Amino acid sequence: MSQAVTPIARESLVEFRASRTTSERNLLAVRDVREGMRLWRLAWTLGWLDIRLRYRGSMLGPFWLTLSTAIMVAALGYLYAVLFHQDIADYLPFLALSQVLWGFLAALVSESCTTFTEAEPVIRSVRMPYFLFATRTLVRNVLVLLHNVVVIVGVDIIFGVWPGANGLLALPGLALWMVDALALTMLLGGFCARFRDILPIVNSVMQIAFFVTPVIWKPSQLGPSGVAHLPFNPFFDMLEIVRAPLLGGQADHMVWVGALAYSVALCGLSWGFFTRARPRIAYWL
């Protein structure tokens, strides 16, 4: 008994390309960001879930961090007010605001390095836009910042400090913070996925930046010549555009020029890196 086998021949075309063009990479990156923005509810839920899991079983939850921040501000405020010969009623609101804002910036920079490595199981199993994980990191740190705002409000009430209408000038600064945070998260998240030893270097840089940036000391303590060089410190510019209005003042125009210049450079660098690294991130994890 014989069986006839009639194969069906079909033409197939397989195209191999070493790399995509620049325009194609940019279009794919734009699509990733657009799809990630559409999933903002999921990013918010994941960020809130991260906070709940981090403080699972705790009585106060994130307010433990608020309590520790309040104790540190009270202790350091009295100590440095004496050392720097500052009026505590003027120095403590400055320190509380600076410490809370710097804590947000430092935590965001550190957690940006682990944006994609922490999400490795999800990235390997589900096709999701990478921008979603950057938004998740931002949401998580914003929630912690909102808890720590209690310290700022408490100190301001005790010492009768009120920024007035100038406080609204902090809103553009906060908006710039959000844009820079997403750019930084995409940049450091991808870069640290490729090079895992970058995280301790970033943490060391942030420790040095804490002492060279006016967080526990005031810019006026440097004198006129020292203050003139502060806009060259990107951390000072980003901190001052939010801190100065909340203290009832206004950020100098040179500070805003520096903050915008650093932001444009950061966003450009982040976008250039992400467009090239986006197809490789899953393989680096």
Q: What is the mean pLDDT of residues 124-130?
A: 88
3 found inside a domain: no
6 found inside a domain: no
User: C-alpha 254: how far from its chain's center?
Assistant: 23
Residue 195 vs residues 123, 192, 203: alpha-carbon distances, Å: 18, 5, 15
- Cα–Cα distance measured from residue 81 to residue 95, given in angstroms and rounded to the nearest whole number: 10
Which range has the worst mean pLDDT, 5-9, 126-130, 226-230? Answer: 5-9
- Cα–Cα distance measured from residue 9 to residue 122, given in angstroms and rounded to the nearest whole number: 40
Which has the closest alpha carbon to 33: 270, 284, 206? 270
Phi and psi at 226, nearest 5°, equal: -75, -40
Q: What is the mean pLDDT of residues 61-79?
A: 82
CB distance 95 to 218 below 8 Å: no
Which range has the worst mean pLDDT, 20-24, 70-74, 254-258? Answer: 20-24
Residue 77, domain extent: 23-284
16 found inside a domain: no
pLDDT of res. 17: 56
Q: How many domains does the chain have?
A: 1
1 found inside a domain: no
pLDDT of res. 225: 63
Q: List pLDDT tens digits, range 84-93.
A: 788 888 889 9
Q: How sure is the predictor about 230, in pLDDT bands with cuts at 50, 70 and 90?
A: confident
10 found inside a domain: no
Kindly tell me the sign of the dihedral angle through the C-alpha atoms of 23, 24, 28, 29.
negative
- b/e burial code for range 239-273 (CB count within 10 A of at least 16 → b): bbbbbbbbbeeebbeebbebbeebbeebbeebbeb
Residue 188, classified by CB atoms within 10 Å of its CB into exposed (0-12), middle (13-18) or buried (19+), is buried
Query: What's the pTM?
Result: 0.86
98 found inside a domain: yes
17 found inside a domain: no
278 found inside a domain: yes
- Cα–Cα distance measured from residue 59 to residue 68, given in angstroms and rounded to the nearest whole number: 14
